[in-house]
Structure 1
């Protein structure tokens, strides 16, 4: 029996990555990502510790790029391959980044800073009455708003 030769390692290629925070103004950022530069930086800083890669040895994706990739996907519903084509990382990298970032955004530590729901029956009734008075929306009990400190 002939011994199989090991396959040569495939050379990894890295496409150039766009820095949309430097390239685009606020109007274009809002159009494409639903947040302006300050909003993107705010989200990035909130998640930075968890998004930072321990090494940059293999061209690690920056926290800013991870947030931008995720926002582009959430804002447009574009296929991950298209996001990779637009921004540089491969489709598998885009997939991992989106999963990681969305999981962080949905974590109780982050979500509860922005999503408020009443907890008691009296509070539910009071909120429903307030929303009915403000905008004639029946049954509304929660909002997404400013973070609490």
Structure 2
């Protein structure tokens, strides 16, 4: 087997590995768990990422805003891609607007919120470099 064929097979294995794993996300609500607050201390929390149990889960989501009449944070799995955004919402009777945000990411445990990252992008980049090295050699 020549080296370029070996590199190509390695790139395919890396890509398949990255996209065949199930996704693990933080799933919690600050309403019933104080560890799930806006500032997420992953070193001192009992909350751990759990395997998503919804069909075709590809994203971990973190939202901040008003839920059931209380300001809070929700973290959950989703099969739907939400765009990252923040907006100010003012309800009738409120003295000032409330900042509400949605953050989406697609790697394990990325929705803790301190820095959302995407490990799959690194995997695709690495696989692409290996593929190009094999192809253009």
TM-score of Structure 1 vs Structure 2, range by shorter chain: under 0.3
Bigger fraction of residues in strand = 2
Bigger fraction of residues in helix = 1
Q: Could you state the TM-score of these two structures normalised by the residue count of structure 2?
A: 0.26
Bigger radius of gyration, 1 or 2? 1
